[in-house]
Structure 1
Amino acid sequence: MANPTRWVTDTGPEHSQWYVDRFRRLAAEGADLAGEARLLDAMVPPRARVLDAGCGTGRVGAALHDRGHRVVGVDADPVLVEAAGDAHPGPRWLVGDLAELDLAAAGEPEPFDAAVLAGNVMAFVAPGTEQRVLGRVAAHVRPDGVVVVGFGTDRGYRLADFDADAVAAGLRLEHRFATWDLRPWRDDADFAVTVLRRPA
């Protein structure tokens, strides 16, 4: 990994295991952990090929797999990827830096119908790599495919910078919402869900 991610530099050494334990607890309590997956499922054809970029513990990719989609998840944190594989054996889970993403080299040359970056992924990538991350993800999505990104607007990555980085990465903004359940966007919203498309 060329540059350490903010996930590494801005959190302590026990953070990854805390994160794994947190989502195991939420799942055991019956929390709704599939909202992002429901949105993406509505946007893609049956048995779509989906890239879960910054997959974490695999909750989004697993929910998409359960809906019949073919999922590859990638995360820079090996602790999270191991937890994803243990809990959700259906998708393929890989350790990798999104800024250097090359899935063809990992035996996944087929383009994806869609990519999803949930869970504040863009706020945790290495500083200065945001445009490259979007570009590498976009390069793995077929023409006319979608890239759906959600992150907190108070996390240090300005929405205006994100929009500029998306354009520079060759993506076109189609929709923006304030939540994953499609509540209308407001300029004062503290979360943004953005639907981007790779032009045909």
Structure 2
Amino acid sequence: MTGQQDRWAELTGGQGGEAYAQRFARLVESGHDIHGEAAFCAALLEPAARVLDAGCGTGRIAIRLAELGHRCTGVDVDPSMLAVARRDAPAQEWLPGDLARLDALDLDPDFDLVLAAGNVIPLLAPGTEPDVVRQLAGALRPGGLLVTGMGLDAAHLPLPEPPLTLGEFDDWCTRAGLTLRHRYATWSGDPYRDGCGYAVSVHSRPAG
């Protein structure tokens, strides 16, 4: 462990799994499409791609990507979230783990895509963000993609103020050997402009 509690645990006490699942169940009941992140990622992937859902939570995205034919592994540090994922998709691979110590899981570094959605990066333990980005980059095969989604203001975060800037995040990615390929304002692919409150970013590991 990193020795410091992540911001998500501070918000939920590590007991947010059922409440998080119920929130999305209500969205489904009201007619909302909850698979925007999965659709976005699927459009970037070849068939039967290998995907790491880093900070997978209750497994919503990884389960949908598996339904679309991809091979998905989910990692999360919150046992209450993983309990829901294992209940809903017991045949999939769900691993407990600190993203700052991802290498301790001995995963083969050949993922076609690593996903950190749901404000994973802003909700990390303070000071661990560069290490986590480096670990996520290290899990990619050459040419693989890191896809992230994060709020950039209080309106798009469960926090009173953003703990990081997009410039800082891009710098961590650059230091991890990644190159920014695309950036959008939503998972639907709306154009990103300076001042947007949310950013979906696609970084790649060099193919050479």
> Does residue 128 of structure 1 match 2:121?
no
Q: 1:149 deviation in Å?
A: 0.4
**Displacement over 3 Å in runs of 4+:** 10-17, 27-30
Q: Which amino acid aligns with 2:35?
A: A
Q: Which amino acid aligns with 1:62?
A: I
Number of residue pairs matched by the alignment: 198
Question: What are the Cα deviations for residues 25-50 of structure 1, in whole angstroms up to 9, with x where unaligned?
Answer: 33344431111111111111100000
Partner of 2:146: 147
Q: 1:115 deviation in Å?
A: 0.7
TM-score (norm 2): 0.89
Partner of 2:159: none
> Does residue 166 of structure 1 match 2:167?
no
Partner of 1:193: 200
**Equivalent residue of 1:101, what SS?**
helix
Counterpart CA distance in 2 for 1:88 and 1:31 is: 21
Q: Which amino acid aligns with 1:21?
A: Q
**Equivalent residue of 2:121, what SS?**
helix
Q: What is the Cα-based RMSD across aligned positions, in Å?
A: 1.6
> Does residue 97 of structure 1 match 2:98?
yes
Structure 2, unmatched stretches of 5+, are 154-161
Counterpart CA distance in 1 for 2:39 and 2:82 is: 22
Structure 1, unmatched stretches of 5+, are none
> Identical aligned pairs, as a percentage?
45
Whether the 8 Å CA contact 1:62–1:90 is kept in 2: the answer is no
Q: 1:187 deviation in Å?
A: 0.7
Q: 1:112 deviation in Å?
A: 0.5
TM-score (norm 1): 0.92
Counterpart CA distance in 2 for 1:71 and 1:188 is: 33
Whether the 8 Å CA contact 2:6–2:123 is kept in 1: the answer is yes
